[in-house]
Amino acid sequence: MRGLQLADQSTRRGPLPKSGRAAFALVAILALAPSAAMAEQASALGLEAQVEAAYNQASPSVVNITSSIVGQDAIGKAVPQEGTGSGFVYDSKGHIVTNYHVVANAEKVTVSFDNGKTYKARVIGKDPSNDLAVLAVSEAVAAPPLPLADSKSLKVGQFVVALGNPFGLDRTLTFGVISALGRVIQSPDGRFIGEAIQTDAPINPGNSGGPLLDLQGRVIGINSQIMSGSGSSAGIGFAIPSRIVQKVVPQLIARGRYSHPWLGVRGLDVSSELSGALSDAGFKPGSDAGLLVLDVVRGSPAAKAGIQGGSKSIQLNGSDFPVGGDVIVAINGKPISGFQDLTLYLESQTNVGDNVTVKVIRGGVSKTLQVSLTERPESP
């Protein structure tokens, strides 16, 4: 009893001796260490379960696409050639979404599902400027469509899963994070795709057209390109965001193409080198940045609004060069530094039929013009 009383008294009336405090601290650390390890293990198991669930949900709807074209060998003899890529079921009607470059110029396309069945498919819509295409298969598709998430809500560091068929290895899963947002990549027709998602989830040849998923199994992008010196994954891959997919694909299904807003100018980015060369020739652009309009397409929105191309021609680096044209410096108050800015603004912020305010520099004087955008011709 006396021992109990002493213990009770020391607990209530004063601190533990140093040796007692040290022992208590050691016991506390030993007690906490297993708890921290268990929590970390539980977190890892939770992440693992989410990845597994995303794969199990999406895998049946991811397809292997084989496209066939007739090429030429070294002596010009016609030979059949095959390429492979990926895609996914987009809607309840069984439409398949993939990259345009997966099926570009294909004479024959087949689609294989995870149940082992292979179907003939045809391209019913394509948009090289956004590197998107839609396929219709020859028979009813049982696989469910994959839901699309809103790519505007994505965060750098967010976990993602890439599904596809790299090197023909069907329904391969790779895992990573969103490395960056808002990247700009070049499209197959030489234009630009904005808002691209950068990821370190390994993407290799054959992954093109496959979905980039969040951990809920929703499509946040379509894997499209990699940056690599070897042609294989170097940890820098790019996906077309779901926002563009949601905007473009319904038109591809309905009418076979997407309506791109169009201004109708051909120009060259103003740079210090170009400005210097033109100044030396007596034709200073009038602005240190912008798009120098070389010519305007007849009957285009730009022509109707009064935007002017070059009125004279000079010799520059041995070639005829139009000079005296307007320099486009802003659209709707958004600064334009060149062709890339112009393309990205029109694609992301405008639609066919919109009226926009274009600011130009003409002969050193700022002018504002109203332009009504029309649909870009297929061969502008």
- Cβ neighbours of 348 (radius 10 Å): 13
Alpha-carbon distance 155 to 147, whole Å?
A: 19
Instruction: Pick 117 or 7 by higher pLDDT.
Output: 117
Give the pLDDT of residue 43: 72
Would you name the residues annotated as active-site residues? Answer: 101, 131, 208
Dist CA 288 CA 290 (whole Å) = 7
Q: Are 37-258 and 261-375 the same fold in CATH? A: no
Q: For the chain, what percent of residues have pLDDT higher than 70?
A: 88
Average pLDDT over residues 49-71: 93
Answer yes or no: CATH 1.10.275.10 is held by domain 261-375. Answer: no
pLDDT on residue 20:
54
Hey, which CATH number is domain 37-258, 2.40.10.120, 2.60.40.420, 4.10.110.10, 1.10.730.10?
2.40.10.120
Displacement of CA 288 from its chain's centroid (Å): 30
Q: 46: left (phi > 0), else alpha (psi -120 to 50), else beta? A: alpha
Query: So what's the pLDDT on residue 5?
Result: 36
Range scoring the smallest mean pLDDT among 2-16, 135-149, 293-307:
2-16
Residues 6+ positions from 61 with CB-CB distance below 8 Å: 88, 89, 143, 144, 145, 146
Q: How confident is the model at residue 42 (pLDDT cuts 50, 70, 90)?
A: low
In this predicted structure, the answer to whether residue 315 has a pLDDT above a threshold of 80 is no
Q: Can you tell me the distance from the alpha carbon of 267 to that of 328, in angstroms, rounded to the nearest whole number?
A: 9
Q: What is the mean pLDDT of the chain?
A: 87
Strands 211-213 and 78-89: unpaired
Is the pLDDT score of 178 beyond 90?
yes
Domain extents in the chain:
37-258, 261-375
Q: Which of 166-170, 180-184, 306-310 has the lowest mean pLDDT?
A: 166-170
Nearest to 254 by CA among 62, 95, 65: 95
